[in-house]
Structure 1
């Protein structure tokens, strides 16, 4: 939940989801005092006392209770290695972590330290594999969008991707970098239907961007010019030229 401020009569209520928001709120109140000349009763706000509250730190011995640590919004919190639930910073106490273990995972309350360390290492490896997979997937997506864009620019048939570009790319990578790199390049899909979909996606995205620029143009003013053209298949195509004022161009 974002930080919310409610004011009524002479009172101000602030709801915070992050401890670090306190500094931002203090700066806002200071600016308000300087601009309005109104003095906020700091004895009731007592930001100095709140900001001086000591935040608890994780200790490696807490793994005995099945907990590692995670940083959320700049705050270190205990996280259970069994259910992956992150507790509040105030729960960074042996008694509360032990209570969580006994109440939520009673079947593991008598396990030793090595058991929880194995769980923690397994969770860590799963996160690393998941991160690597997402990064690799994003790179593959970027690669075939790039190839599809070049095919469209050169006005080549969509089949050129799987019939020429991909076989040549695989052979070059195999010769220069080896079979391991070849497997990664092989994951890039360049079939006729895939290239067609990617080009259609990019065309739709460009159209949406132009329409959005027209809607957000200065004073809401723009002009359009329509014309008709015929493509190589003798099909009529409607061309629309738009002229507008934008913060980036005219």
Structure 2
């Protein structure tokens, strides 16, 4: 099963809860681990924008770039001037007056996201991708195959998720034995991760590529496997 791990480790989060925030000294390794280019996008699949969190100190925290790209999809974030840790393992974006524009909360095993209104995710993304996958956008028929094109199974994803964030799926009747035995029945989205699951705990985790198809997550091990839209 895919596990999207935030760049900030649990031990780093503990340090931050001890008051290392808002301009106080931050361990350089923690700072470098969090810095980088991220996609900030609504969880519902609408377009977002990329922003780079830098390590140079500035008023209120650390410098950033790319905020101008947010002027159309997320206009409130176009005013971002700096970023900082929030003291609880999360990240904040602030304007030039130090007003908090967005607060991304740490979710263990999942990308950081806001909690107000339509949630925004702060997540590493494939180049050229400006939005998160959604149940609606991924619903349809896919082929599970090897890199050389060998077909293992047809997978149909239903776009109607339940309260737990899982939606039904169905497999074609000609699946390879090693896929059929998993008895996959539902699917789940977590950022750019797609997980196919059975009712008894079996699962296969995939990560989205820049072309919108998916490759089996490296954490799964075993032979390479892809999900390709038909």
TM norm. shorter chain > 0.5: no
Which structure: greater helix fraction?
1
Give the alignment's TM-score, normalised by structure 2.
0.21
Give the alignment's TM-score, normalised by structure 1.
0.20
Structure with larger RCO (C-alpha < 8 A, sep 6+) = 2
Which structure: greater strand fraction?
2
Structure possessing the higher radius of gyration over alpha carbons = 1
